[in-house]
Amino acid sequence: MRLVRYRLRGLFSMRGMAALCCLVAVFLSLSHAIAHEGHDHGDESRTALAASAYPRVTAQSELYEVVGILKGEKLSIYLDHFVTNEPVGDATLKVTIGDREPIDAAPAAPGIYTIALPRLAVTESIEIVFNIATPTGDDLLVGALAPPRAGGASAATAAGNASTRWIASIPPPVRNPVLLAAVAIGLGLFVAYLYRRGRFVPAVATGAAASLVLVVLVAVASSDEPPRADAAAAQAMSDAPRRLPDGTSFVAKPTQRLLEVRTVAAKPEAAQAAVKLIGRVIGDPNRTSVVQSVHGGRVIPLDGGLPRIGQAVRKGDVLAQIDPYLPLADRTTIMEKAREIEQLIAVAETKIRRLRPLAERGAVPLSQVTDLETELDGLRQRRETIRNTRTELELLRAPTDGVIAAAKVVPGQVVQAQDLLFQIVDPNGFWVEALAYGDVDPNALADATAVATGGHAMTLAFRGFSRALQQHASVVQFAVSEPPANLSIGQPVTVVARTGAPTTALVVQRDAVVRSANGESVVWLRAEPERFEPRPVRTQPFDATRLIIAAGVSDGERVVIRGADLINQIR
C-alpha cells in the first residue's frame, strides 16, 4: 500500500513538474515575443542617441561660440560669432585645461585653432577655460570635456558579450523561442507519459533534457539581441550629418564650415506687407527700336557683313541693303516708259543738230535751239530717274542708339514689307510690365522691387498704370533703375510692391524659408552649436529678397539664412 502511494505521489509530482515546465515555456515564449514585437525593454535599454563619435566641449556667450573636438591627442577648436556663426579668424586663443598652465592655441585655418592634448587618464569631465582676445572684443568661456569612455563601459560590454557568446553560437533556427517552448512542452508531456507507463529511468533522462531546454529558453528570453544593439550604437556614433529622432538635425562644426551655414538673430522691425505681381521685361519705348523694310526685297549685306547680335550701333548707321522686288507688270511699264523717253531724247537730239547750223546763220531763231536743249535735259533727267527706280537699293538705318538684340536676316534672304529684321535696345533702358489683378491702388506702387529667374533683385520706379483691362488685369509699368548685365527682353520676373499698412514684424531673407517634406514652410533655428531645429512659420511677401514671418519665430532666436536648404535635405 505504501509502495502504491509512493508511486502515485511520484506520478502526481512528475505530472505537476511537467505541467509547470509547460507553463514556464509558454510564459517565457510569450513574454519574449511581446517584448520584441513592441521593442519595449524598459527605460534602462533606451539609450540616448550619441551626438558624435568624438568627445566634445562647447561653450558660448553673447559674443562667441566655441566647439572643441578631441581626436586622439589633438583638440580642434572652432571659434565662431554667436549670432552670425561666422568664423573668427583674427583671435588670440589661450586654453586652460583643469589645473594646468594656459596653452596658446595655434591657428590651423580661418576660425580653427588646435592644441596638443595628452591622453586623459581620468574618467570624469575636465573643465576647460577659453581666453579669447580679438580686436572686436575679449571674452572668457568655460566648458567641460568628457574624455573617451574606455574603462567601465568597455568592461561591461566585454562581460555582456562573454555571457551571451554561447547563446550567439547556437544556430538561429534553433535559437527561436517559439521552437524551444514547443520542444520543452513536448518533453514535459513525454515525461508524464513515461511515468504513467512506469518507465522511470527514461522519464528522468527526458526530464533532464526538458530542464536543459528550459535553461536555453530562459537565456534566450532574457537576452536582448546584443549584435543588433551594437550595430545601432556603431551607426549612431558618427560625425556625419543626420536627422535625429526628435526631428532636429545634427550638423557637426566641420560640416557647417563646408556648407557655410550662417544665422541671424530675429529682431522685430517696421515692415509693410506687399503684393506679388507677375511681369516681364520690356524695353524703354523711347530707347528701343525695330528695323523693317518698307517695300521688301532681297537682303544685300554691306562690305563688312551684316550686324551681329550684341553689336553696338549708333543712330543713322546703315545696317543692311534691300534690293527691291518689282512685279512683272511694273517692270514692263518701266521698260516701256524708258524706251519712250529714249525715243524722245533721240528726236530732240536730231532736232538740235538740224536747227543749230540754221540758227548760227540766222535762218531760225536761236530760242528754238535753246528750248530743244532744255527739253533734252529734262528727258535725260527722266531717264535717270527711271534707271534709279529700277536699280536703287533701300538702305536700312538704325533709328536709335543701342545694341543689336535680334537679327533675323541672312545674305540673299527675300523679306516682305514690315518684317522685323533687327531689334535695337539700350542696355541701360529696361522696363518691367506687370499684370495687377483685383483692386490695386496705383499710388501705393511707388516702392517696388523685382526678382528675375536667376535670383537677381532689381529696384523699380513706377511709370504708369493702365485704366484699360487686358486679360482681366490692369497693366502696370516700372522702370528698372540699375539693370543687371544679364537682363533680357521678355524675361519673366516677379514684382513685389508694398501696399499694406505698416506694422512691426520679423523680416528674414527669402532663402531662410524652405519647404519641409509635408509641404509646410519652415525655417531652421540653431538650438545648439551643432543641432538645428525646424520651425513651421507663416510668411508674407516683403520685397524681392526678404519675407515677413507673421508667426512661428520668437524674438532673439537664431534663424539660418544661408545653408537652410542643405540642412533641410538631411535625413
pLDDT in tens, 250-275: 999 999 999 999 998 888 877 777 77
Binned at pLDDT 50, 70 and 90, residue 65 comes out as: very high
Does 449 have pLDDT greater than 70? Answer: yes
Handedness of CA 82, 83, 84, 85 (dihedral sign): positive
**CA–CA separation, 237 and 52 (whole Å):** 5
Give, in degrees to the nearest 5, the angle at Cα 411 between 406 and 413.
Answer: 85
pLDDT the model gives residue 101: 85
Give the SS3 label for residue 433. strand
Model pLDDT, residue 40: 43
Residue 203's alpha-carbon distances to 12, 169, 186, 192, 206, in angstroms, are 13, 29, 13, 8, 5
> 56-145 domain in CATH 2.60.40.10?
yes
Q: What does pLDDT average to over the chain?
A: 77
Kindly report the CATH class assigned to 259-282+427-568.
mainly beta
Residue 87 banded pLDDT, cuts 50, 70, 90:
very high
Q: Which candidate, 78, 57, 73, places its Cα nearest to that of 117?
A: 73
Answer whether residue 280 shows pLDDT above 70.
Answer: yes
Q: Which residues make up the CATH 2.60.40.10 domain(s) of the chain? A: 56-145
Instruction: State yes or no: pLDDT of 327 exceeds 70.
Output: no
Q: Where in the chain is the domain with CATH 2.40.30.170?
A: 259-282+427-568
Rounded CA-CA distance 449/495 in Å is 6
- pLDDT value at position 389? 65
